[in-house]
Amino acid sequence: MATEAVRLDGVTRRFGAMVALHEAWLKVRHGEFLTLLGPSGCGKTTLLNLIAGFLAADGGEIFIEGALVTATPVWQRDIGMVFQNYALFPHMDVARNVAYGLATRGVNKAEAAQRVAEALALVKLTGMAGRRPRELSGGQQQRVALARALVIRPKVLLLDEPFSALDRNLRGAMQVELKEIQQRLGITTIFVTHDQGEALSMSDRVAVMSAGRIHQVGTPEEVYRRPADRFVAGFVGDVNRLPARLLGREGDTAQVAAGACHFTVPAAPLAGLAPGAAVELFLRPEQLAPAPAGGPALLEGVVVARVYQGDRMELHLEAAGVPGRVLLRLPGHAPGVGEHGSHLAVQAQPQPDAMAFPPTT
Amino acid sequence: MRYGLGLRALRLMLRLLVLTILGFVLLPSVVVIIAAFSDRSILAFPPTGFSWRWFARALAYEDFQSGFRNGVIVMAWASSIALVIGSGVAIALHRYSFTGSRLLQAMLLAPLVVPHFTLGLGCLILAAQLGVARTMGLVVATHVVLVLPFVLRSVYVSLRNLDGRLEQAAASLGAPPGRVLWTVTLPLLAPGLAGGWLFAAILSFNEFTASLFVTAQRTQTLPVAMYNYVREYADPTMAALAAIYIAVTALLLLVANRFLGLGRVLAIDHGH
């Protein structure tokens, strides 16, 4: 198929004077798991509601399976939606909840019963058909909501922060399960979350949003290793921002110096800056390491906290000239390194994914 | 120790206060019920003997019988019509903010501050101007105006408590607005609708002041018939009727509470 599953052409939505979504352009491929990631108020839920049809666009066009749906009402869009609070009908049992979308489509009773049973089996709720939603746990309600959205075989599955009400362990299990179901059915899925870990672990691609704009669309690895701008770099994963100086540019890359170290970074974000200009160097915590004695150091600081994380050790440093704390993430439990209160010289791992951006004014 | 003693004294006083208030509220009803069993034909307290005869007379008295029938008819029509109008207006007010929606809201809640006799008088004058006879229709119309605010309130509050995402979920599953209303909104509003209807019914059945203006001999409701009776007689029949009134209303409320309470358990748990 040539067309995308969902396409947004410059979709804009305002609430009064506030622009909730500013000219969003997005193509979602068939069978893709795409996550809209951003802090609350960034417009990700507005975007989802525009695709679902709960909100009308103030500008631009929306296509589902190549068909223009900008003016199509919700009930004719053929979408499946899972709400943050699940929104199960409290006056119907599980089977009738799941069958609701089949009844509205006029599917005959026998076929509906069979499809409901299949959907419940898919989400491992066989035998629960007669229960009321309030008799179910949060995780079970979540599965019913998923079954209800999937049983109608929608063109696109929309999920609005579906895991935010679950506790941590259950959330992890449900994430894996949702991903499995999504891959088995090959259903195009648009997932909204503010949890960057969730976005990175589940998505085929992530659209990072802030203040009503899509900053970057890319695979989790692209978004993490090659963030398009300082917002994406700061929002997806932890990052150290270190003062640095632009040395020069060469084609697509630029050289920057920080401490006694030199780094090669993408040149695009630094367009327009002259050699010698101050820049901010972005380095992930796992790309820093203690410098060998006498070797060139990126910075030197005092260890103010050692945080044991099981599979790794986090060191928090205070360093002169660096605003905030410097974070190091060392594999294992790093015995004898960076005792509390000690001085530590830090260098970068070889060939780090370093990025540099102009300093904020 | 002193602290414990003071606390206990305070608790005792609080209990006494509650009992006094309860007594004060219930005393008139208790007096009337006791007076209903009097054996003498003068409404007096305390009674000197015991008899059921005033109950028999109250039930047999023709004006009371027709008043009861009229009252039930007016009650049923007025509350049902008010329920339909009130629900429609409540849904419109809840869903859409249109020009004058606030004014409409204020106007519909106005009968809470407009005295009933003003309303009765107004309806009477209007009816006379329009050449409408003092029929049951007029009484029903007056009662609709009277009970509408209460129904509106009840439905509006239920709507406010309804999670809008349930309706969105139904729409996302392919249900057009009418189907959403019938299969999701109304079933979930049922306890609110039933409560509103019941409240309106009780109000309508007991209403006296406005009814006095708009009823005629043929259309008088029970409270009006009672008033007319008291103007002519002073025997304990009235007290007997009052006792029946209290008993029946209490029974109705108990049944309704049980039914509505059950309904709430069965249908409503959008407690997020």
A133-142, A161-170, B103-112: range with lowest mean pLDDT: B103-112
In 3D space, the residue among A55, A69, A66, A64 whose CA is nearest the CA of residue A21 turns out to be A55
Q: How far is CA A124 from CA A134, A140, A283, B128, in A?
A: 18, 9, 43, 70
- Would the CB atoms of A90 and B267 count as touching at under 8 Å? yes
pLDDT at A182: 93
Tell me the percentage of chain A whose pLDDT exceeds 90: 52
Closest by Cβ to A83, choosing from B169, B174, B184: B169
pLDDT at B7: 85
pLDDT at B267: 44
Work out the minimum CA distance from A77 to partner chain B, whole angstroms: 8
pLDDT at A36: 95
pLDDT at B271: 38
A302 in contact with B, Cβ within 8 Å: no
CB-CB contact of B51 with B239 (8 Å): no
pLDDT at B132: 78
pLDDT in tens, A268-277: 888 888 888 8
Q: How many CA atoms lie within 13 A of A93 on its CB side?
A: 9
CATH number of B61-265: 1.10.3720.10
Whole-angstrom distance, CA of residue A149 vs CA of residue A45? 18
pLDDT at B251: 85
Query: Mean of the pLDDT values across residues A140-153?
Result: 93
Tell me the percentage of chain B whose pLDDT exceeds 70: 92
pLDDT at B36: 86
B183 in contact with A, Cβ within 8 Å: yes
**What does the domain layout of chain B look like in residue ranges?**
61-265
In 3D space, the residue among B27, B59, B47 whose CA is nearest the CA of residue B237 turns out to be B59
A29-38, A69-78, A342-351, B219-228: range with lowest mean pLDDT: A342-351
B178 in contact with A, Cβ within 8 Å: no
pLDDT at B261: 61
Q: What is the ipTM of this complex?
A: 0.83
Q: How far is CA B38 from CA B33, B55, B228, B234, in A?
A: 10, 10, 21, 13
Q: How is residue A254 written in tokens?
A: 């630029």
pLDDT at A293: 79
pTM: 0.79
C-beta neighbour count of A72 within 10 angstroms: 14
B270 in contact with A, Cβ within 8 Å: yes
pLDDT at A157: 95
pLDDT in tens, A216-243: 999 999 999 989 888 999 898 889 999 9
- Would the CB atoms of B187 and A91 count as touching at under 8 Å? yes
pLDDT at B262: 46
Please say if the pLDDT value at position A104 is more than 90.
yes
Residues of chain B with pLDDT under 50: 262-263, 265-272
